[in-house]
Amino acid sequence: MTKQDEISKAMKQAMKERATARLSTLRLINAAIKDREIAARGDGEETGIDDAVVLSILSKMVKQRQESARTYEEGGRLDLAERELAEVEVIEEFLPKQLSDKEIAKAVEAAIAEVGASSIRDMGKVMGVLKSRYAGQMDFGKVGPMVKDKLN
């Protein structure tokens, strides 16, 4: 079952249960996926999008909502921050389990060894390997500096 199928199934279930908050978040996810599919078709890709693309969309949505929640908290709008965090919980249901710091460190070292990276110039190759294997499982904003430290 693809991620899109899982999301559609969850959306139908939310409709049956009349879970309005959950349903609205699932509709947002679905809309983001449809937008990406339309863009892919415009670029000449007939096959649609795969799970890796869906995972990147979901990761981006989580990051956006976490930033919004932080901004709302700083502005004293806790009600809006709570709503954003509730959306994050729904979105994270469809993401794979996040790797621990130790697991991330091992993955970084394995990717460096696989690529044969020896300097900071090889950082793009290492990040490419990590993104292809661990999409949605790690925050690449935090992983980038780790890779940079290892390559210096």
The whole-chain average pLDDT of the chain stands at: 89
Phi, psi of 100 (to 5 degrees): -75, 170
Contact 55, 3 (CB under 8 A): yes
On the question of pLDDT at 8 being above 90, the answer is: yes
pTM comes to 0.74
Least-confidence region, from 22-36, 56-70, 123-137: 123-137
The pLDDT tens digits for 48-66 are 788 888 888 998 999 899 9
Q: What percent of the chain has pLDDT over 90?
A: 43
Indicate the DSSP class of residue 47.
S
Domains by residue range for the chain, with CATH: 3-92 (1.10.1510.10), 101-151 (1.10.10.410)
Q: What is the rounded CA–CA span in Å between residue 65 and residue 97? A: 18
Mean pLDDT calculated for residue range 63-83: 95
Mean pLDDT calculated for residue range 21-45: 90
- Categorise residue 116: left if φ over 0, alpha if ψ from -120 to 50, beta otherwise: left
The secondary structure of 67-111, three-state, reads HHHHHHHHCCCHHHHHHHHHHHHHHHCCCCCCCCHHHHHHHHHHH
Please report the pLDDT score of residue 30 as a whole number.
Answer: 95
pLDDT-derived band at 81, boundaries 50, 70, 90: very high
pLDDT-derived band at 117, boundaries 50, 70, 90: confident
On the question of pLDDT at 85 being above 90, the answer is: yes
pLDDT-derived band at 46, boundaries 50, 70, 90: low
On the question of pLDDT at 45 being above 80, the answer is: no
